[in-house]
């Protein structure tokens, strides 16, 4: 059994160990949010992507990842570089669109051309 003095030292050591673990976890969690010791939470932009026809697939042009179907709201880090997407729907021509990411919010309207619209126009003279 521990004497009162030994018990007090044990509590101090345990408390110090817990404080050290908490400090390490806190620092690791903050590491991905700091730049040069300053907290850097990225500003986000919210972009609505709307298409005619509705229900078109929105695909990242750089990696082919499907982002969703229209109407779609994306929340992405603000950037000076636009996000290049491809909007696709059955029976329509694909359309590549640059989505600006520099402001807090925005909207991109995409009208897809039906494939049979080219045939309906007939041959040019």
Give, for all 125 residues of the chain, the pLDDT tens digit. 555 565 556 666 656 666 665 555 555 555 455 555 554 667 999 999 999 999 999 999 999 999 999 999 999 999 999 999 999 999 999 999 999 999 999 999 999 999 986 555 666 55
Domain segments of the chain: what residues?
Answer: 4-39, 44-117
DSSP annotation of 37:
T
pTM for the complete prediction?
0.62
Cα gap 73→48, rounded to integer Å: 4
Residues in the chain: 125
Is the domain spanning 44-117 CATH 2.60.40.1120? The answer is: yes
């Amino acid at each position: 059994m521990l004497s009162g003095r030994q018990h007090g030292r044990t509590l101090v050591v345990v408390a110090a160990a817990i404080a050290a673990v908490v400090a390490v976890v806190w620092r690791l969690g903050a590491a991905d949010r700091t730049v040069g010791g300053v907290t850097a939470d990225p500003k986000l932009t919210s972009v609505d992507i709307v298409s005619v026809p509705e229900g078109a697939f929105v695909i990242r042009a750089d990696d082919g990842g499907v982002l969703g179907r229209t109407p779609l709201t994306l929340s992405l880090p603000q950037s000076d570089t636009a996000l290049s997407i491809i909007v696709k729907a059955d029976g329509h021509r694909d359309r590549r669109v640059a989505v600006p990411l520099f402001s807090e919010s925005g909207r991109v309207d995409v009208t897809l051309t039906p494939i049979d619209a080219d045939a309906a126009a007939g041959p040019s003279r």
